[in-house]
């Protein structure tokens, strides 16, 4: 054996021997420890990584100074999480770039003595919480004959949604021409039949059989517009989504407008002569969507964005692609973005993605307006029970909650006056959401006091 070959073999043995393997394990362990420690103030890292509440699930935290862009702290900030309703910040960003100052209420053309109209996805027509009568007044007062044509749109439910949420108020169906928020509203008192709105659904409502019980006030079969109301010991108000269809839209419009509305098959219209009826100011929708985390408004927001792209269909995926390519290509990581509300378990984003988005929003929207759209600590929306003191709110943001998921993204004002962009994400927790929420507030309170 040549001396050169012998030296090579000895060198390999040294590199792969016990000492080298130990060194490699130490390096790997050191890297893992560094990731577990996070990067930033030691006291903050001890609070996060030493928390008995947070240690059994996947936690990520990204904090950046809004004024300077300096990264203050990060833990698992480049790892992907299910963002839940923090995805509504992406929907807000899409709306800010595509919708302008007002919602597009509907689109129409006039042909001789006929007015042909179709939906833009605007959810506010006679909505229970963000109501608009602009389309109603317009259609009721026009002298022409009315013809409704149903523009092609996405499926009623988004990809990755939980199918068995169909009965609950937070999961109305997506549609091109919503009316009444695509829900039936019930009001009931003990010993009295429930009042139903809109009235068209009243014949489809029946009381539960004697002795029948349910954890819900109202149950609807999956594929039918029949509603069973269960008795309760106290008065209540509830909303149950209805199954949408072009035929039902026609019936509801005729019943509400008290005039004939006829159907036309969809065919793309020549661009000449198409008009858009302006609706409510956009902030009226953004504020409700973000503060109470309204899923339906968020989904319809992306459909309205699609109508602004000049497409011949209302396509959520087309909007997402356009926004990512034109305005969000510079995010640190490529988010997986599939719906407007965050209901889908297919959405994925990193904490530093959301922090970067918060920085972009702050650069592009005046601060007073931006903070007024978000839930505010101790004031309104999903943060009303925390994140405030005697002087008022110190955190403004968006929560995101699914089963085993609780996240928070927004802006934190420290006692020294610094504004920090924060994304605090928790996935796969088995502790009660309330416990995770309290622990996050305790940690962020210390951030406020010490940074």
Task: Look up the CATH number of the domain holding residue 354.
Answer: 3.40.710.10
For the cut 50, the answer to whether the pLDDT of residue 32 exceeds it is: no
Please tell me whether residues 446 and 312 are part of one structural domain.
yes
- Does 418 lie in the same domain as 311? yes
What per-residue confidence (pLDDT) applies to 37?
A: 58
Residue 393 has pLDDT above 50, yes or no: yes
Q: Which residue has the higher pLDDT, 284 or 20?
A: 284
In this structure, of 173-177, 242-246, 286-290, 307-311, the range with the lowest mean pLDDT score is 307-311
Mean pLDDT score, 209-231: 93
One domain for residues 59 and 198: no
For residue 279, being part of any structural domain is answered with no
How many distinct structural domains can be found in the chain?
2
Q: Do the strands 145-149 and 114-119 form a parallel or antiparallel pair, or are they unpaired? A: parallel
> Which pLDDT score, from 0 to 100, does residue 26 have?
38
Domain match, 227 and 346 both:
no
Give the three-class secondary structure for 360: helix
Q: How confident is the model at residue 102 (pLDDT cuts 50, 70, 90)?
A: very high
213-224 average pLDDT score: 93
Is 251 inside any structural domain?
A: no
Residue 275 lies in a domain: no
E strands present in 325-404: 375-376, 388-389, 392-393, 395-402
Residue 122 lies in a domain: no
What pLDDT score was predicted for residue 19?
Answer: 40
Please count the CA atoms within 13 angstroms of the CA of 348 that sit on its side-chain side. Answer: 8
> What is the rounded average pLDDT of the residues 100-106?
96
Query: Average pLDDT of 2-17?
Result: 45
Q: Distance between CA atoms of 424 and 428, rounded to whole angstroms?
A: 14
Residues 306 and 441 in one domain: yes
In a domain, 108, yes or no: no
pLDDT of residue 416: 95
Q: Rounded CA gap, 120 and 167, in Å?
A: 25
Split at pLDDT 50, 70, 90, the class of 137 is: very high
- Full domain range(s) for residue 419: 40-93+302-450
Write down which residue in 240, 255, 275 finishes a domain.
240
Least confident of 190-194, 216-220, 347-351: 190-194
Q: What is the mean pLDDT of residues 103-125?
A: 96
323 & 436 share domain:
yes
Reported as a single tens digit per residue, the pLDDT across 255-269 is 999 999 999 998 877
**202 and 68 together in one domain:** no
pLDDT of residue 92: 98
Shared domain check, 317 and 431: yes
- Whole-number pLDDT of residue 225: 97
318-346 CB burial, b ≥16 within 10 A, e <16:
bbbebbbeebbeebebebebbbbbbbbbe
Residues 225 and 348 grouped into a single domain:
no
Side-chain-side CA neighbours of 154 within 13 Å: the count stands at 25
Q: What is the mean pLDDT of residues 350-373?
A: 98
For residues 38 and 231, the model is more confident at 231
Question: What pLDDT is attached to residue 152?
Answer: 95
**30 by DSSP, 3-state: which?**
helix
Within a domain: residue 125?
A: no
Rounded distance between C-alpha atoms, residue 291 and residue 383, angstroms: 8
Q: Please indicate, yes or no, whether residues 313 and 204 belong to a single structural domain of this protein.
A: no
Per-residue confidence at 101, pLDDT binned at 50, 70, 90? very high
Same domain, 319 and 206: no
pLDDT value at residue 253:
96
Question: Omega of the bond prior to 198 within 30 degrees of 0, cis?
Answer: yes
Averaged pLDDT, 55-67: 96
Note the pLDDT of residue 312. Answer: 85
Residue 116 CA: distances (Å) to CA of 154, 235, 246, 264 = 21, 43, 14, 8
């Amino acid at each position: 054996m040549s001396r050169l070959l012998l030296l090579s073999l000895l060198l390999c043995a040294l590199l792969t021997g016990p000492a080298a393997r130990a060194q490699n394990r130490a390096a790997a362990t050191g890297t893992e420890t560094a990731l577990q420690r996070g990067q930033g103030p030691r006291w903050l890292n001890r609070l996060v990584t030493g928390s008995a509440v947070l240690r059994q699930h996947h936690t990520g935290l990204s904090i950046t100074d809004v004024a300077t862009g300096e990264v203050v702290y990060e833990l698992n900030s480049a790892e992907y999480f299910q963002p839940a309703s923090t995805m509504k910040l992406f929907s807000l960003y899409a709306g800010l770039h595509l919708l302008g100052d007002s919602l597009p209420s509907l689109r129409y053309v006039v042909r001789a003595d006929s007015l042909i109209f179709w939906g833009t996805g605007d959810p506010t027509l006679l909505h229970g919480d963000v109501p608009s009568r602009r389309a109603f007044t317009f259609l009721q007062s026009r002298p022409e004959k009315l013809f409704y044509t149903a523009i092609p749109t996405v499926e009623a439910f988004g990809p990755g949604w939980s199918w068995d949420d169909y009965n609950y108020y937070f999961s109305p169906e997506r549609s091109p021409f919503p009316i009444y928020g695509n829900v039936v509203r019930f009001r009931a008192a003990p010993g009295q039949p429930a009042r139903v709105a809109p009235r068209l659904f009243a014949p489809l409502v029946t009381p539960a059989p004697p002795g029948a019980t349910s954890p819900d006030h109202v149950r609807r079969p999956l594929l039918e517009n029949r509603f069973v109301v269960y008795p309760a010991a106290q008065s209540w108000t509830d909303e149950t989504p209805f199954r949408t269809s072009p035929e039902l839209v026609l019936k509801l419009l005729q019943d509400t407008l008290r005039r004939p509305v006829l159907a036309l098959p969809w065919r793309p219209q020549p661009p000449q002569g198409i008009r858009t009826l302006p609706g409510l100011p956009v902030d009226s929708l953004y504020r409700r969507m973000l503060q109470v985390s309204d899923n339906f408004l968020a989904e319809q927001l992306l459909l309205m964005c699609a109508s602004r792209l000049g497409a011949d269909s209302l396509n959520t995926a087309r909007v997402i692609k356009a926004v990512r390519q034109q305005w969000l290509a510079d995010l640190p990581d490529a988010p997986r973005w599939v719906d407007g509300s965050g209901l889908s378990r297919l959405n994925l984003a990193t904490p530093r993605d959301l922090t970067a988005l918060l920085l972009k929003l702050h650069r592009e929207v005046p601060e007073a307006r931006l903070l007024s759209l978000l839930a505010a600590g101790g004031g309104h929306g999903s943060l009303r029970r925390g994140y405030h003191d005697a002087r008022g709110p110190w955190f403004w943001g968006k929560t995101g909650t699914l089963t085993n998921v609780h996240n928070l993204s927004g802006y934190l004002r420290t006692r020294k006056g610094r504004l920090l962009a924060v994304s605090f994400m928790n996935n796969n927790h088995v502790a009660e959401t309330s416990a995770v929420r309290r622990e996050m507030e305790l940690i962020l309170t210390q951030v406020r006091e010490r940074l």
